[in-house]
Structure formats: C-alpha cells, structure tokens
C-alpha cells in the first residue's frame, strides 16, 4: 500500500513553470519501446472445455470513453492471442502488490506448461456479458471485455475491446459509490522493472485551481488516503 506516503503538501503558490529545473544535456538514441510507466495487467481468457488461462500484458491502455474501450497488444505466438481471437472476449484484471509475483509469473510461463490459475491458487469468476472468459477473483478490479477490432501492426496484433462489465473489491468504493482504486496498491512497469505507486502529487486541474478549491481538495484527498 502506498497510502502512507500521500500526505506531502504541494507547494501551491508556484506557477507551473517555477517547478521546472534545468534539464540535463539530451542526446539521440536508437528507437525502441520506451514509453513508461505502463500498466501491468493480468489478461484472463479461455476456450470451452479447457482450463482458463492468464497472461501478463503491459501493452494495454484506455482508448475510448463512449463506449468505454481498452486496447491490448499481443504477439501471434502467444496462446492467449488465439483464445482472444477465437472467442472474442477476455478479462483485463488489474493486480495489486499482493499479486505482483503472480503477475510476473503469468508473463514468463505459458499455458502450454502450466495451469496458472491452479498453480497460483487463483479463483476463476464468471462475469456478466462474457460466455467463457473468467475473471481473477483475487484482483481488486476486473474489466470484462468484448473484442471489437483487430489491427495487425507487425510483431503484434492490436485488440480493441469494449468494456461490458466490471467486478471490483467492495472496500475500494466510498460511501458515494466512487471507486478509489489507488487505495489498492497498484503496480507500474518501467522497461522490465516493476514498481509500486508512491507519493500522491496532485489531482487533475490542481495547476490552475483557486487556492480555496485547492486546499479543500487536498484535505479531501488526504482524508481518502488516510482511511485505507
């Protein structure tokens, strides 16, 4: 849980530019996949009559709000590529720190070697709107997804899917029903290294918030994170 580190006060008097330190010298380097941090999710999918499978995906993201859609890139050689292509459905499970090692394990082991649900002691859970894909019950949040588009980009196929159902840990909702997933203790992935989330830096719009609004929102945020 990163919740012990979120109470540092932001210096609100600064203009945005006043926080920017002089950067070091920059140079060119060879192109590669260096966008970071990226999410670290556990994609579960399956085929009727087989045990469900899990693979780890870091090349995923939100792509549309109405309707809510996500994308996931998978190479053709992965077993999950066939499962998603054939069934048109999957679950994107967002792990917490307690699942970090399981998450890594699902990224290096194949369905062809091991039954990952069984090996990891995880529980498949049915999701509304999906016929065969099962969620991971131990994850704080699971997004049930139906495939809408597939783009062949070269090494990877990009699957674009609509989120049709959600399952969430009840204790991550506040009394108004708002989700506080950040309280779950999430993971981020940076070029082969896993990190927990750390210090809370601010909310969307804090750079231009009026002082009274900023003070109120900071108090609220502190209260939210303290509760967990």
In whole angstroms, the minimum distance from the beta carbon of 129 to its own copies comes to: 9
Closer residue to its own copies (CB): 191 or 226: 191
Stretch that binds its own copies, among 13-21, 44-52, 78-86 (CB under 8 A): 13-21
Closer residue to its own copies (CB): 32 or 48: 32
**Residue 78 near residue 165 (C-beta atoms within 8 A):** no
**Residue 213 DSSP SS3:** helix
179 touches its own copies by CB under 8 A = yes
112 touches its own copies by CB under 8 A = no
Closer residue to its own copies (CB): 43 or 48: 43
Q: Which of residues 35-64 bind its own copies (CB under 8 A)?
A: 35-39, 41, 58-64
Tally of CA atoms within 13 A in the half-sphere of 44 that contains its CB: 32
Closer residue to its own copies (CB): 86 or 220: 220
CA distance 210 to 208: 7
Q: Which of residues 67-106 bind its own copies (CB under 8 A)?
A: 67-71, 73, 92, 94, 97-102, 104-105
Q: Which of residues 183-222 bind its own copies (CB under 8 A)?
A: 186-188, 190-208, 221
Q: Which of residues 139-168 bind its own copies (CB under 8 A)?
A: 139-143, 149, 151, 153-156, 158, 160, 163-168
Closer residue to its own copies (CB): 48 or 177: 177
Burial of residue 207 (CB within 10 Å: 0-12, 13-18, 19+) is middle
Interface pick for its own copies out of 47, 82, 110, 119 (rule CB under 8 A): 119
Closer residue to its own copies (CB): 32 or 49: 32
- Token duo for residue 194: 């896993």
Cα R_g (the chain), whole angstroms: 20
Closer residue to its own copies (CB): 47 or 209: 209
The number of residues that bind its own copies (CB under 8 A) is 113
Q: Which residues 6+ apart lie within 8 Å of 156 measured at CB?
A: 59, 73, 74, 75
CA distance 113 to 131: 25
- CA angle centred on 131, ends 129 and 133, rounded to 5°: 100
Site mask, its own copies, residues 17-36, x = CB under 8 A? x-xxxxxxxxxxxxxxxxxx
Interface pick for its own copies out of 171, 216, 220, 227 (rule CB under 8 A): 171
CA distance 55 to 116: 9
Q: Which residues 6+ apart lie within 8 Å of 93 measured at CB?
A: 41, 42, 43, 44, 54, 135, 136, 139, 141, 142, 143
């Amino acid at each position: 849980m990163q919740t012990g580190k979120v109470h540092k006060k932001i210096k609100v008097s600064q203009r945005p530019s006043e926080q920017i330190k002089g950067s070091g010298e920059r140079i060119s380097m060879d192109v590669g996949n260096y966008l970071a941090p990226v999410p670290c999710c556990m994609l579960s999918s399956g085929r009727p009559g087989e045990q469900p499978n899990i693979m780890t995906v870091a090349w995923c993201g939100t792509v549309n709000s109405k309707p809510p859609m996500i994308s996931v890139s998978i190479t053709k050689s992965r077993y999950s590529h066939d499962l998603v292509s054939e069934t048109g459905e999957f679950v994107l499970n967002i792990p917490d720190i307690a699942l970090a090692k399981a998450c890594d394990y699902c990224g290096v082991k194949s369905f062809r070697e091991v039954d990952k649900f069984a090996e990891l002691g995880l529980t498949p859970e049915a999701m509304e709107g999906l016929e065969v894909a099962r969620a991971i019950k131990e994850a704080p949040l699971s997004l049930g997804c139906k495939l809408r588009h597939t783009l062949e980009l070269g090494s990877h196929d990009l699957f674009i899917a609509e989120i049709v159902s959600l399952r969430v840990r009840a204790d991550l909702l506040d009394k108004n029903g708002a989700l506080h997933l950040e309280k779950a203790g999430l993971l981020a992935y940076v070029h082969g290294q896993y990190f927990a989330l750390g210090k809370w830096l601010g909310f969307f719009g804090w750079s231009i918030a009026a002082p009274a609004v900023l003070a109120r929102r900071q108090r609220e945020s502190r209260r939210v994170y303290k509760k967990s």
